[in-house]
Amino acid sequence: MYQFSFEKLNVWQKARELTKKVYKITSNFPKEENFCLTNQIRRASISVCSNLAEGSSRRSDKEQQYFYQISYSSLMELLNQFIVSRDLDYISDDDLEVIRTDVQLISILHTKLRESLST
């Protein structure tokens, strides 16, 4: 089966795995958060993957960098939202550590991808 260029990116694959974890963890959030924090967290995690995919389709390095930067920013937004979720006792310390570890790895992969365009 044919793979598009974004599907071959390790950073996209890891972000996709993170999105699955995000959905699983947020399924336990209070129902009153469905249209607030839960929705915002899920959208941020999808934005990480989606902007990597969109950026990979762009022809110029400058355009790719733009979408990769949006993706990275969404990753930081996601971490912030999980920290807030921990402050609100919606998740455990262990859940936050799992997310933080994934975010750190994806952040490193993101940086390497963006640096590869600069050279």
Residue ranges covered by each domain of the chain: 30-118
Residue 47 is encoded by which pair of tokens? 């934005």
Residue 11 is encoded by which pair of tokens? 């950073």
How far is residue 60's CA from residue 52's CA, in Å, rounded to a whole number?
A: 14
How far is residue 99's CA from residue 93's CA, in Å, rounded to a whole number?
A: 10
- Residue 119 scores a pLDDT above 70: no
What number is the average pLDDT over the span 95-110? 98
Cα-based angle 96, 108, 50 (whole degrees, multiple of 5): 80
Q: What is the pLDDT of residue 107?
A: 98
How far is residue 51's CA from residue 2's CA, in Å, rounded to a whole number?
A: 20
- Residue 93 scores a pLDDT above 70: yes
Residues 25-84 have pLDDT tens digits of 999 999 999 999 999 999 999 999 999 999 999 999 999 999 999 999 999 999 999 999
Question: Domain 30-118, what architecture?
Answer: Up-down Bundle (1.20)
What number is the average pLDDT over the span 84-102? 98
